[in-house]
Chains A and B, each alone.
Chain A
């Protein structure tokens, strides 16, 4: 698994 980034994009 990869690090989960913040989902602030559309």
Chain B
């Protein structure tokens, strides 16, 4: 555990909590892509199956349980409790164009050809592109609420901090995981355009326009 890893995890947690609270307090999921949230729920489920097979630390277990729980809670709020406010017409990204290639790639390029390892690889690849339905939705409607941009910023910052974590671990521990690093770079790059807009336009203005 180093400072980049810890702040990355906390940033990820902050993003998840911000989104849950935003939907809960406003009693609306307008502007939020339910498809992205389903993809994140799939990501956490397929990655954290090792909760059943191995114990790493109390921190690790608690965070995994919180991430999974919050992901399903978010999906529940969007598709059940506040379904009436869900903007399905604008959430029109074709997720099969992500899930099918990602599934194929995880079978082809992985650390070990075993079910658990393939599912873990699938989750890493899927996470790197899971935000695309959300970004697509914002580009389609042309605006996002300020709180939604804070969510996206924390979510992007989390993977960027993980990149620094991997540089740190490579130098001080000789640790590196090529699959996670390549997917993490892709994931961070997808946020670059958004980071730029967030800093230059989204900081104080409201509502946020692209």
Contacts and interface: CB of A to CB of B under 8 A. Distances in A.
Interface residues of A, number: 10
- Chain B interface, DSSP helix/strand/loop, else mixed: helix
A2 B178 CA distance: 8
Interface in B63-88: 63-64, 67
B5 interface: yes
Interface residues on B, range: 20 to 34
A10 B165 CA distance: 12
- Chain A interface, DSSP helix/strand/loop, else mixed: loop
A8 B126 CA distance: 19
Interface of B: 5, 9, 12, 50, 56-57, 60, 63-64, 67, 110-113, 117, 120, 162, 165, 175-180
Interface of A: 1-10
